[in-house]
Amino acid sequence: MIMKLGKLEVYSFIHLSVQEFLAALYVHKTFVDQRKNLLSPRAVIPVSEGGESPIIFLHKSAVDMALNSDHGQWDLFLRFLVGLSQDKNQGLLQKIFGKKDKLPQSREETIDYIHRKIQKTSYTNKGINLFHCLNELGDQSLVEQVQKYYKSGDISKILPVHWSALAFVLLVSNEDLSVFDLRKYYGSEAVLERLLPVLKVAKIALLSESNLTDRCCRYVSSVLTMKSGELEELDLSGNNLNDSGVQLLAGSLQDANCKLSKLRLKCCIVTTAGCKPLISAVSRCFSLRELNLQYNLFMDESLTLMCDWLSRTECKLEVLR
C-alpha cells in the first residue's frame, strides 16, 4: 500500500513477511548484479577466474548474522535469502528482471555450512530456523534420518547434535505435544536444551528422574515466563536441583506470565536455604494450586515458615505435600 506524506511516497506492508522478502531480494540482487555483499560490506569477496563471486559468502554472512541476533529478527529474512538462490527461483527471477550471467551456485556448500552450525548451535529457535533453511534448500537428510529412528522407536541412535532435528520434526508434525515427557526421548540436560522448543508448546512437563541439575532450571524458567507459554504442570522430582536451582524457579513463579498450577519437587536435595525463597514466591503465585516438596532436607524452621506464609489470605495454594 502506498501513502503520500507531502511529496514523499511511503510504502506500507500488509504483513511483515512481505518486507522481509523484499529485503532478501534486494540483498540477493545486489550481490548477483554488483558483486557486493551488503551484509558484510568490508569483507573481501574472493572471485573465480571468470570474475564471479560464489554466493556462499553471502549465505555465510546471513547465517552468522541470524545466529548472532538476540530475538530472531533475521530468521525469516535468512529463509527467503537462501531460497532465492535455488535454481527454480533463479529462473523466475530471470523472467522478471531479465536474463543475467548465471551466478555459480553453492547449494552444497551452503547446506554443509548450515549442518556445521546446527552441530554447534544448541539453543532452541535458532537451531529450528536452520532446519527451515535446509528445507528451503531442499535438504532433508538430517530430518529423514531422525524420523527413521524416531518412528522405529530406536532413539538411542540419535546423536546429541541431532536432537534439534527431532524438535523440528515434532513441531511440524500433527502429533499432540501437550504432554512433554523427557524420559520418552532420552533423559539428560543436553537433550532437554535441544528439545526446548517442544517444551515451549507443552501444557504438562514430566522431567522427573532425568539426570538434571540446577542448570535445567534456567531453561524451565524461560518457558514459565514466556508470554505465550501454556505450561500448567511441572514435575522435576528426583533431580539434583539443589537450592540454587529452586531459587531460579522461585523467581519465575512470581512472573506475571507464569500459569503453573502444579509443581512437584520431590527428592531434589532442597534445604532451608532453597525453601525460603520458594515459599515466598509460592505465596505470590496466584496460579499455583498444588506443591509437592516431599523427601527434601528441610529443618523444622522451614516447616514453620511454610505454615506462616501459606496461612496468608493472598496465597492460593490448596495442596501441600
Q: Is residue 167 part of a domain?
A: no
C-alpha cell at 224: 514459565
Same domain, 69 and 191: no
Is 90 in the same domain as 206? no
Whether residue 314 is contained in a domain is answered as yes
Residue 132 shares a structural domain with residue 214: no
- In this prediction, residue 312 has a pLDDT band, given cuts at 50, 70 and 90, of low
pLDDT level of residue 15 (50, 70, 90 thresholds): confident
Q: Is residue 98 part of a domain?
A: yes
Q: Which pLDDT score, from 0 to 100, does residue 282 have?
A: 83
Section 196-215 average pLDDT: 94
Model confidence over 57-93: pLDDT tens digits? Answer: 899 999 999 998 877 889 999 999 999 888 777 777 7
Lowest pLDDT segment from 66-70, 111-115, 243-247, 264-268 = 66-70
Of 115, 139, 163, the residue at which a domain comes to its end is 139
- Judge contact between 297 and 270, C-beta under 8 A: yes
Asked if 262 and 233 count as a contact pair (C-beta separation under 8 A), the reply is: yes
- The reply to whether 291 falls in a domain is yes
Q: Which long-range contacts (CB under 8 A, 24 or more apart) does 61-69 make?
A: 61/37, 62/27, 63/113, 63/114, 63/117, 63/130, 63/133, 65/39, 66/126, 66/129, 67/117, 67/121, 67/126
Q: How far apart are CA 263 and CA 274, in angstroms?
A: 15
Asked if residue 129 belongs to a domain, the reply is yes
> Is 148 within the bounds of a domain?
no
pLDDT bucket at 112, cuts 50 / 70 / 90 = very high
- Picking from 139, 166, 195, the residue at the C-terminal end of a domain is 139
Percentage of residues of the chain with pLDDT beyond 90: 34
Going from the C-alpha of 264 to that of each of 11, 64, 208, 229, the distances in angstroms are: 53, 40, 9, 19
| CATH number (domain holding residue 181) | 3.80.10.10
Is residue 164 in a domain?
A: no
Shared-domain flag, residues 263 and 215: yes
Query: Both 117 and 207 in a single domain?
Result: no
- Which pLDDT value is given to residue 244? 94
107 and 222 share one domain: no
Contact between residue 224 and residue 255 where contact means Cβ atoms under 8 Å apart: yes
193 in the same domain as 135? no
214 neighbors 242 (Cβ within 8 angstroms):
yes
User: How many domains in the chain?
Assistant: 2
Residue 314's pLDDT is 66
Same domain for 225 and 87? no
CB neighbours (10 Å) of residue 102? 11
Same domain for 6 and 82, yes or no, is yes
Helices 124-136 and 163-171: angle between axes, nearest 10 degrees:
70
> Nine-digit cell at 40?
558484510
Residue where one domain finishes, among candidates 85, 111, 139: 139
Distance separating alpha carbons of residues 299 and 103, to the nearest angstrom: 72
The CA-based dihedral angle spanning residues 271, 273, 274, 278, taken in that order and rounded to the nearest 10 degrees: 120
The Cα–Cα gap between 44 and 146 comes to 38
Tell me, yes or no, whether 190 and 291 share the same domain. Answer: yes
Is residue 113, in this structure, part of any structural domain at all?
A: yes
279, 226: one domain: yes
- Is residue 108 located within the same domain as residue 182? no
Q: What range defines the domain where residue 303 resides?
A: 177-321
